[in-house]
């Protein structure tokens, strides 16, 4: 589940679910969110992988297959701790520089592009929203908050997930880490999203699930 981050506060992963499931009228959410982030909230910025949908298993399978085929870790599977520390939430070039630092750039790019193709093939038709997300989305839309999806995933992946969730018309913008000067854990993607939305950091709430994403949001 995603972590909820706002300026000055890092809340538990279940917070969004509690807000969205507490009341079908939205009264509970409307009274709770201002208490936690203040009355100046104007925008909500969402990560995608692991925050809108639980896609980590599909990524883990794709990375494991590719890494074993390439002989990484003596051809043995990576464990969950390695995935969490070095892969989850990171941009592809960082992962490749960690796993295969001696490979030429064109070989690295070909590797992670094949990995992403395998992920998209597995993800199509299998994207499921995290529990409570759709209620929260409806509530946020009703409040008139500006919204952005901010992700290190390639744009093609982001489109597969957003379309699979039926959220094509929900986000005011989609910011891709690789299309910024620097991806997460640097703050550039969140800074770009705030500029597009015309809001300041103290007017935003960020929903994240990875250390890299939380670090990016905290520095934005």
How high is the pLDDT of residue 218? 87
* H or E stretch covering 61: helix 56-69
How high is the pLDDT of residue 35? 57
How far is Cα 107 from Cα 190, in angstroms, rounded to an integer? 29
How far is Cα 129 from Cα 18, in angstroms, rounded to an integer? 15
**Rounded to two decimals, what is the model's pTM?**
0.79
Exposure string (b/e) for 181-204, b if CB count within 10 Å is 16 or more?
Answer: eebbbbbbbbbbbbeebebebebb
Q: Is 106 exposed, middle or buried (0-12, 13-18, 19+ CB in 10 A)?
A: exposed
How high is the pLDDT of residue 195? 97
Residue found under tokens 């597969």: 160
pLDDT in tens, the chain (220 residues): 444 444 333 333 344 444 444 433 343 444 455 555 557 889 999 999 888 998 888 999 999 999 999 999 999 999 999 998 999 888 899 999 999 999 999 999 999 999 999 999 999 989 999 888 898 899 899 989 999 999 999 999 999 999 999 999 999 999 999 999 999 999 999 999 999 999 998 888 888 888 888 889 889 8
How high is the pLDDT of residue 50? 86
How high is the pLDDT of residue 6? 43
How high is the pLDDT of residue 18? 47
- Please list the active-site residues: 47, 49
CB 11 within 8 A of CB 177: no
């Amino acid at each position: 589940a995603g972590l909820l981050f706002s300026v000055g506060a890092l809340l538990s992963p279940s917070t969004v679910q509690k807000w969205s499931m507490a009341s079908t009228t939205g009264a509970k959410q409307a009274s709770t969110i201002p208490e936690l982030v203040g009355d100046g909230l104007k925008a909500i910025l969402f990560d995608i992988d692991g925050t809108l949908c639980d896609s980590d298993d599909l990524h883990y399978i794709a990375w494991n297959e590719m890494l074993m085929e390439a002989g990484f870790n003596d051809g043995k599977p990576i464990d969950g701790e390695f995935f969490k520390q070095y892969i989850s939430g990171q941009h592809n070039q960082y992962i490749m520089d960690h796993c295969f630092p001696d490979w030429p750039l064109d070989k690295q790019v070909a590797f992670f592009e094949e990995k992403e193709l395998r992920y998209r093939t597995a993800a199509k038709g299998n994207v499921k929203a995290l529990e409570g997300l759709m209620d929260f989305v409806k509530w946020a839309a009703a409040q008139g908050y500006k919204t952005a999806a901010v992700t290190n995933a390639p744009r093609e992946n982001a489109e597969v997930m957003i379309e699979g969730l039926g959220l094509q018309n929900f986000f005011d913008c989609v910011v891709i880490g690789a299309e910024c000067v620097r991806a997460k854990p640097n703050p550039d993607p969140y800074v770009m999203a705030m500029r597009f939305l015309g809001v300041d950091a103290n007017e935003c709430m960020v929903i994240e699930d990875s250390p890299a994403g939380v670090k990016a949001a905290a520095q934005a």
